[in-house]
Every structure is written in structure tokens, then in C-alpha cells.
Chains A and B, each alone.
Chain A
Amino acid sequence: MTEQRAESKEQRAKNTDKKSPGFVLRPLIIALWLALLFLPFRGIKDALILFVMLSILLFIFRALSGYAKTLTEKFNGIRQSVNISLETVYARSKIPQFVTYLLLFGFILSVPFFAKDYFIDVLILAGIYVILAQGLNVVVGFAGLLNLGFVAFYAIGAYSYALLNTKMGLGFWSALPLSVVLASFSGFLLAVPALRLKGDYLAIVTLGFGEIVRLVLNNWDSVTKGPNGIGGIEPPYLFGMPLGRLSYYYYFILAFVALTVFMVRRVYKSRTGRAWVAIREDEIASSSIGINTTAYKLYAFAFGAFWAGAAGALFAAKMQFVSPESFTFMESVLILSMVILGGLGSIPGVILGAVILVILPEMLREIQLYRMLALGSGLVLLMIFRPQGLFRPGRLSRLAGRANL
């Protein structure tokens, strides 16, 4: 074993040594391999271009990471440097913290006075996603229950408001509690049977639930109008005034985001939140100190679905139109990416994650086609280099590396 290791170390040293043939050959071989895989899809010319580009990229990567001796060290090195740089930024910003907050709040509040309608529109969408992502953060981040069908609750919230409004003439304020309760209740209904499962199985059942909800919305023509969707939904009224104007709706969403963050934070700091984290870290240990794990997992599902329902109603009221297309599996993945990018279980992190993942694709409109390609590879790279996301969540245990997800 040790001999083998020493041998491989020698080999690696050879590879990183600039004079050895491995230093030049390895990137070339990798690039050639990937270009060959690409060959049948685009033909020889594009494969050659890819080969040249990849070789250059890999050479740069190699030259830059030449200090690290082994592949694992390379990964750890990048991981640590990202960590350290982020942490120094946080540490330094500690002194004038209230100033940054003040500036941030001032900026957020004054956006409608100078920004274009388009930008406000994007920010409203970002706000809705912040609410959604906080809801998922409760389930995945706090309680550690992977949910791949979270979009189902969002859909239930949106369709409840759409149907209550268009079919029964209920206004936003009377329909909102109903939609939220419906979403919450469906979360509860899913959780009762699903919580007997663990980890991956739970993930798959929630995924299946999400797909079933979407298929029902798509096929139950008499109620949901199928793929055509429901239009003509009223915007909310506040003091008898419709919130049709973007800037009004912006403040409205902002208030909801603040409420969500406040509530999620309060619950996180409470006994319930501590119980969730305990379950996430070690279910058996937490049940042995008297936490009713099933009950708390149910709360987590219902509480998360609650905010998804609220976000759904807000979405339907904003778009004044809903269709099953908005509630696909990709949407679930997108919300999950926000939570993971921000940092599982970190409330400010998840806000940042949601805002980044809404605004970034809007900024990259020109290369729209490549957006999903970037999201996919971004997820892989994030998992390799910074699996804990941008923000380190609080109450991180020693065992977090092998948290029982």
C-alpha cells in the first residue's frame, strides 16, 4: 500500500514537473479524449476547435495549479483559498457592518426611483424566488430532508389563487390564506407517508409527487384548462388600490420577503429550529434525547410548503396567468440550486443565492442558449470546489461532511 502510494506520488511529481513529458501530454490527452467524445455530434471541424480550446484551457489550469502536488491537494487548495478569501471579506466587513446594511437597505428601497421597469420586474421575480428558496431551505437546509419536488407546492399555491380568483371571485387577501393553507396541507399530506423513507428514496418520492402534480395540472382540462393555463387573474388590492404598477408590486413583494425572512429566522432560532438541526445532524441521537423526529419533520415539510404556497400566490398575482409550464422539474432544480449555492441552512446565503441565480441569467441574455449548459456545469463545479455554498451555515457540526442527507 505505502509502496504503491510512494510510486504514485513519484508519478504525480513527474506529471507536475514542467520538464517531464507528462506535463505536456496529460492535458493534450484529456483534451483529445473530450474532443473525440464531441466528434460525432458536430463533425471534425468543431471537434478540432474544441480540442485546441480545451488544450489551452487545461494548460492554463495546469500552469496555475502547478504548486499543488496531487489532484486532491489541488482541489483542497482551491477550496481553502476560496474559503479564506470569503472569510476575510466577512471578517473585515464586521466593523462597519451597520453601515453596509444601511446602504443596502437604502439601495433596495430606492430601486423603483431610478431603475428601469425591466430591472424592477427582474427584482420582483428575484423576491418571489427568495421566498421559495427560504421555504426549501427550511426543508433541506434546516431539517436535512432532500426535496426534489418542491415546485409542487409552489404550483398548488399559484393554482389555488388562480382558481379561487377566477372561478369564485375571491380577492387576493381572502384567497392568500386559503392557498397557503392548501399548499401547507399538501406538504403535510405528502410528508405523512414519505417521511418513513430516508435520503435518496425521500428525494425520489418528492420528485414523483412534483411530476404527478404537474401531470394533473396538465391533464385536468375541466378545472385547470390544461396546458393553456389560466389567465385573467386579478392583481392584489391594497386599501382599495390595485397593485398593478410595478413599483407598488415591488414594495409589496419586498414586504413579503421581509416577513418570510423574519419568520423563518424566528423559527430557526426557536426550539423547533434547534430540533430540525439536531435531526439533520443525527436522527438517532436526536430521537434518543426525546425529540419527536417524525413530528418535527412534518413541521418542516408543512412550514416549507407554506412559503412555497405564498410564493405561488404572489407569482400568480404578478403574472396574472399560470400554466403548468412554470412548474417543471427544472424549476425544482433551480430552487434547490439557489439553496445550495447560498449555503444549505444559511438564511442570508440563500437570499444571495436566489438573487444571483435570477439576476445572472438575465444579465447573460445574449448567450441565452448556453445558460442551462452553464447551470449544469456550474452545479458540478460548485459541488467539487465549494459544496457548502457561499455562506457557511451556523451550527455546523464536526460531522457536517457526512451529514446524513
Chain B
Amino acid sequence: MFVQQVINGLTVGGVYALIALGYTMVYGILDLINFAHGEIYMLGAYLGIIFLGFFTVIGLTAYSLPLALALTFILSIVFCSAYGFTIEKIAYKPLRNASRLSPLISAIGVSIFLQNYVMLTQGATDKVFPHLFEETGFEMQGMTFTYIQIFIIVVSAALMMFLNLFITKTRMGKAMRAVAQDKTMASLVGINIDTVISVTFVIGSGLAAVAGLMVAMYYGLVNYSIGYIAGIKAFTAAVLGGIGSIPGAMFGGILLGLVESLSASYISPEYKDAYAFIILIIILLIKPSGLFGKSQEEKV
């Protein structure tokens, strides 16, 4: 029972961590809670279903399922990244020098827009992920692990590792860290701030797309409203780990997934969604800088 719940928690936690990375990167660079980020995750899930449906129609899935799945992943990532890029250009870039409130409201606006955009184009009812492969797994001492769960855990871990390498080793990653530290200084040493911000949105949205697609495979159902609650939980994960900190977001996501799945099975499943908020409030009150974050002194 316990190990089973840990595996379930790790699966969900991996997904939260992937979404949380997008929040934390954008917050680190723009100081903005990107409310629309959860919707990108939702778009990823929908796009996955749409593309797989398309590939089934043209017969690609029958020809080679792995190829169809790989193409679906790639196309979803590309489209979600394009959405993230576009959203930043339209809704956030004109507000870069506005008061702190403006981009936040704008982000809420984008989130409402995207939810209804998907509802209007795809319908308000739940969408079913095409049933292409048997949900098999293996049993061990009375516990079942499905292959999808293992797939999610492995993919999340691999992506996080790649992201970490990208941030720490590449030139672009270095530029991103520099911009997060001090935008003015970064621009003075010749870093193109706009490019860095765009890259941040593209990477964050790509990760959210993978998360959305994997969740669609895991639960088999998606709805246009899944983005909001997942977004809030992922944000909680980001805050839990210390917002702006990339290892923090990974750790926070996994911790949140574990806490949620354990408390849902040991305390009460009805309040499953409330635990995230309760944890969020407790963390913010005890250690607002999060587990990995640095506390900032306020300057006059």
C-alpha cells in the first residue's frame, strides 16, 4: 500500500515538477506568476489527442506506433512552445515596464482566454485519449506498477537532467542565469534580454507540453479546465522548492506529488485538491523563500 502510493506520488510529482519548472524559470527572469502556464499544459494534452487522432486516421499508428507517438510528442512540444512564445510577445512584452499588477492581470486574462478557446474549438465535454496500447504493468508483492507510470517517471527525470545541463553548461543557460540575477547588468554585457525571455518561455512551454501529454496518457481523459488546478499545484511546487530555483522546482514537484498521494489515501481523498493549498500556505508562512530559495532583503 505504502510503496504503491509512493509510486503514484512520484508519477504525479514528476508531472508537477515539469510544470513547476516553467513557473520557476519565468518567475526567476520576469518576476511574474505566469497564470497562463497551466493552460499550456492543458493545450499540450489536447494537442496530443488531436495529433494522435490525426495519425490514426492517416494510418501511421497502425504502421508504427512508436513513430506516431514520437511525432505526437514532437509536434505537441513545437506547438506549445509556439503558444508560449506568442503569449509572451502579445500579453507580457508590452507590459514589461508597467506596475507589478498589470502583467499578472494580463496573465489571468490569457488563462481565461485559452480555456474558453479550447472549450469553444474542442467542446466542453471530456476528451478521451485514443486507446492504442494495453495498459500493462507488472505486479510485485500485490502492488501494480503500470508501464506508463514508469515511463512518466523516467521521462520527467531525463528532462530535468537535460534542463539542468542546459542551464549550467551552455552559453544560453548562462545568459538565462545572468538575466535572472540582474536584467540591466546582463543587457550591459551584451545579452539580448528579449531572446533570453523568449527562450525561457519556449523551454517552459515545451516541458509543460510533455507533462500534459503524459497526463493525458496516464488518466486517459482530458478537459479544458484541467490547466487551472494543475497550474496552481505546480506553482505550489515551485514555491515549495523556492521560486526561481530550478532544483527547487524539481524537488518541490516530487514532494508535493508524494504528499498529495499519501494524504489522499491515508487522510481523506475528498480534500485531495486542498492539501496543495494548505501546504502552500504553511510553507509561505514558515519559510516564504521556500526550501531552496534565497531570502531577499528589501532595499529602499
Contact = CB atoms under 8 A, between A and B. Distances in A.
A402 B120 CA distance: 37
Contacts of B273: 211, 215
Contact of A405 (B82, B99, B113, B116): B99
User: From DSSP, what is the main secondary structure of chain B's interface residues?
Assistant: helix
B173 interface: no
B113 A373 contact: yes
A402 B50 CA distance: 43
B117 interface: yes
Residue among A337, A380, A402 having the largest count of chain B Cβ atoms under 10 Å: A380
Contact of B95 (A197, A207, A337, A383): A383
A380 B91 contact: yes
B122 interface: yes
Contacts, number: 151
Contact of A375 (B101, B112, B285): B112
Contacts of A204: 33, 235, 239, 280, 284
Contacts of A382: 105
A34 B50 contact: no
Given A40-B79, A193-B285, A370-B120, A384 B277 contact: no
Given A373-B116, A373-B120, A384 B284 contact: no
Interface residues of A, number: 57
B104 A380 contact: no
A67 interface: no
A38 B46 CA distance: 12
A295 interface: no
Interface string B61-105: 000000000000000000100110010001100110111111111
A370 B285 CA distance: 40
Interface string B263-275: 0000000110110
A33 interface: yes
Interface in B102-139: 102-106, 108-118, 120-122
Interface in B41-66: 46-47, 50-51
A212 B278 contact: yes
B109 A380 contact: yes
Interface string A198-218: 011101110111011001100
A205 B281 contact: yes
A394 interface: no
Contacts of A36: 82
A370 B284 CA distance: 37
B14 to A, nearest CB: 23
A333 B112 contact: yes
Interface in B166-219: none
Interface string B13-47: 00000000000000000010100000000000011
B109 A384 contact: no
A379 B108 contact: yes
A197 B104 contact: no
Contacts of B292: none
Interface string A153-176: 000000000000000000000000
Contacts of A205: 280-281, 284
B280 A387 contact: no
Interface string A313-355: 0000000000000000110010011001000100000000000
A380 B47 contact: no
Contact of B90 (A329, A344, A380): A380
A377 interface: yes
Contact of A377 (B79, B113, B274, B280): B113
Nearest to A149: B277
Contacts of B232: 207-208, 211
Contacts of A216: 274
A11 interface: no
A34 B85 CA distance: 11
Interface in A290-327: none
Contacts of A20: none
A405 B100 contact: yes
Contacts of B3: none
Residue among A40, A215, A216, A340 having the largest count of chain B Cβ atoms under 10 Å: A40
Contacts of A29: none
A370 B116 CA distance: 8
Given A329-B228, A372-B116, A340 B105 contact: yes
Contacts of B91: 380, 383-384
A333 B104 CA distance: 11
Contacts of B114: 376
Residue among B46, B47, B113, B298 having the largest count of chain A Cβ atoms under 10 Å: B113
B288 A196 contact: yes
Contacts of A402: 99-100
A317 B261 CA distance: 40
Given A219-B270, A376-B110, A379-B106, A208 B281 contact: yes
17 contacts: A33-B82, A42-B121, A75-B94, A203-B33, A205-B281, A207-B232, A208-B232, A211-B273, A370-B120, A372-B115, A373-B120, A377-B109, A379-B112, A387-B101, A401-B97, A401-B99, A402-B99
Closest 5 CB pairs of A and B: A379-B109, A376-B113, A376-B112, A208-B277, A41-B121
Interface of A: 33-34, 36-38, 40-42, 71, 75, 146, 193-194, 196-197, 199-201, 203-205, 207-209, 211-212, 215-216, 219, 284, 329-330, 333, 336-337, 340, 344, 369-370, 372-373, 375-380, 382-384, 387, 400-405
Given A201-B284, A370-B120, 12 more contacts: A34-B86, A42-B121, A194-B285, A200-B104, A205-B280, A208-B236, A208-B278, A376-B113, A387-B102, A401-B99, A404-B100, A405-B101
